[in-house]
Chains A and B, each alone.
Chain A
């Protein structure tokens, strides 16, 4: 009993230690704002921001733009995975594809693709499609690179063994290559998801709609508390997705050590 209480106290202490700098920051923010050291337009107190967040969440103002942004990110990610992962596997299996794709990836992967926002707006309009396509373009590279890295880890004698036992190409791909590439693909996903959110929010700030557009509107009307509240939502979104991805990784890869 005493031991249990001790472990609980220890865990609470660990929790406090893990977040105390953040709490400290929030307290300093609140005090600075309350003391009137800066104008509320620049820095509204934390309590006001949280209250504003609560109000937008309960009166429903927050949800439609947030869901729009999340839908755009998710659709772009699905598209990028559907295109990038097969191409990545092909690069490993086919020399011609490798010859064609490798230089394009070397150039495209570090290129500042957000520069294409005006181009995509021109091609795909100002609504969902242009954002989805841009997310697909920015996230296709991490998927492709992680698929290549993952497929390279497949041991050749595993492929030979499967072939010798009469596996078809499809079975080979599904049962062996995809499984072996899974750890690498999960790492790719962990890069792709924050990239997707960044792309969506930025494109929306430039070309309207979604949470990014809502943030810009709030700023234009000098609703500082709303600006901070939406920033907080973006931060929490990114954080939650990362935590969930790590959990998913542990669950999917329970057989994989390292």
Chain B
């Protein structure tokens, strides 16, 4: 890349970071001028010190790992169940007739409300939180897979049939690749949901995880630590989303860029 190219890239990144820098500067100015109670709004320096303190101990990393594993397992099972279910509903009217009403009826239920119920069944943390995450991630994945498979051009299917392609091969070689952009969009939405529900479940009842950590610091009045934990999980969610977009763009590099995010 040429020097001019690098420079313009640098300016672009700086221009995007500008609003964040302004917000942080405002935050710092407010805390330094003493407009607010420092306990309610700790300065950036205090939060950074709290983060370094936390990062030096294992608790933060164990809790972060717990949250990330819960979210990842929830998403994984959401995909493993959701993609076949969505595809089956799109391909078979009978499956659609059975699962359609169930999905419509449960769509509007806030899944985090199931946490207290799952606690009765499976106890605190662990399976309870994973299950709540699975149920939440399932819906967007099913819906986007359904629409993706529905949207596969008929012409592709007719051509495959005309060439005598076996059904299984039609599914793996034609339907799934054609529906992939939509499926990835569903998974990206589900990824965001996975973080939300994992943290919510940990805040409602749990012994581990970042949600629990944040709540603990908030309860005990160590607000700079609480802010450090909140920022940690928000940044982790952001990085996960970025990584997924990069992964998607790589897998779908054969597609027109405009059609990648269906």
A residues whose Cβ falls under 8 Å from a Cβ of B: 17-22, 25, 41-42, 99-101, 103-104, 107, 110-119, 121-123, 194, 197-198, 201-202, 205-206, 212, 215-216, 218-219, 222, 224, 227-228, 230-231, 234-235, 237-239, 241-242
Contact = CB atoms under 8 A, between A and B. Distances in A.
21 contacts: A18-B101, A22-B102, A99-B15, A100-B22, A104-B20, A110-B241, A111-B238, A112-B195, A113-B196, A115-B233, A118-B217, A119-B218, A202-B112, A202-B200, A205-B200, A219-B116, A219-B117, A227-B117, A230-B113, A231-B117, A235-B109
B35 to A, nearest CB: 14
Contacts of A42: 120-121
Nearest to B120: A42
B77 interface: no
B188 to A, nearest CB: 8
Closest 9 CB pairs of A and B: A238-B108, A118-B218, A219-B116, A198-B110, A112-B195, A235-B109, A202-B112, A112-B196, A206-B203
Chain B contact surface mostly: helix
B204 interface: yes
Interface string B101-124: 110011111111111110111000
A219 B113 CA distance: 11
Interface in B88-141: 97-102, 105-117, 119-121
Contacts of A112: 192, 195-196, 199, 233-234, 237
Nearest to B103: A21
A119 B113 contact: no
Interface stretch (B147-155, B179-187, B223-231, B249-257): B223-231
Nearest to B198: A112
Interface of B: 15-20, 22-23, 40-41, 97-102, 105-117, 119-121, 192, 195-196, 199-200, 203-204, 210-211, 214-215, 217-218, 223, 226-227, 230, 233-234, 237-238, 241
A238 to B, nearest CB: 3
B110 A201 contact: yes
A151 to B, nearest CB: 20
A113 B211 CA distance: 12
A227 B120 contact: yes
Nearest to A219: B116
A60 B238 CA distance: 44
A116 B230 contact: yes
A213 to B, nearest CB: 11
Contacts of B210: 115
Contacts of B230: 115-116, 118-119
Nearest to A218: B116
